[in-house]
Amino acid sequence: MGWLAVGTFVLTLIDLLTDPRGAARRRAEAVKAHAALKDDLRAAVADPRPDPDRDRRLSERYFEVSALIPPVPNALFNRLKANHLRKVEISRILSERPGASVRAAKRALNDRLREQATARRPDTGSPGRAP
């Protein structure tokens, strides 16, 4: 019973220190603020009249929103970027083939990556073959 209490205490302490729900909430708030800023920027671009006050406010708001965005840890950056690029490629494949399923698009991407890796590999050929 004592070990269960110690284990529960340790897990609770880890949860308090890492605060995964708080980090997720901060990220969600940053995404909402960024989306609202993008809407305002699109509206400003659509309006051809020059307005220095609007431009100044948008610039200030851009820096405020940029400060809200939590930094991405270096240890996660490459994996997250690879996942993002993979999703973009799958989206392109789905745009090219509207009737395809996501599974088929993932398979097509894997096939394309495998072909590219094979094409980059030097041809070893048979031992008696001259380059």
- Model confidence pLDDT, tens digit, residues 30-65: 889 999 999 999 988 888 888 889 889 999 999 999
Average pLDDT for residues 60-85, to the nearest whole number?
91
Q: DSSP string of 70-99?
A: PPPPHHHHHHHHHHHHHHHHHHHHHHHSTT
pLDDT at 91: 96
Q: In this prediction, what percent of the chain has a pLDDT beyond 70? A: 93
What's the Cα-to-Cα distance from 29 to each of 19, 42, 61, rounded to whole Å?
16, 20, 14
Q: Does the pTM exceed 0.85?
A: no
Burial 46-80 (b: 16+ CB within 10 A, else e): eeeeeeeeeeeeeeeeeeebeeeeeeeeeeeeeee
pLDDT at 95: 95
Distance CA(52)–CA(48), nearest Å, equals: 12
DSSP 103: H
Exposed / middle / buried, residue 15 (Cβ in 10 Å: 0-12, 13-18, 19+): exposed
pLDDT at 105: 95
Two structure tokens written together for 8: 């529960």
**pLDDT interval class at 119 (50, 70, 90):** confident
Instruction: Kindly list the domain boundaries of the chain, sorted by start residue.
Output: 1-71, 75-120
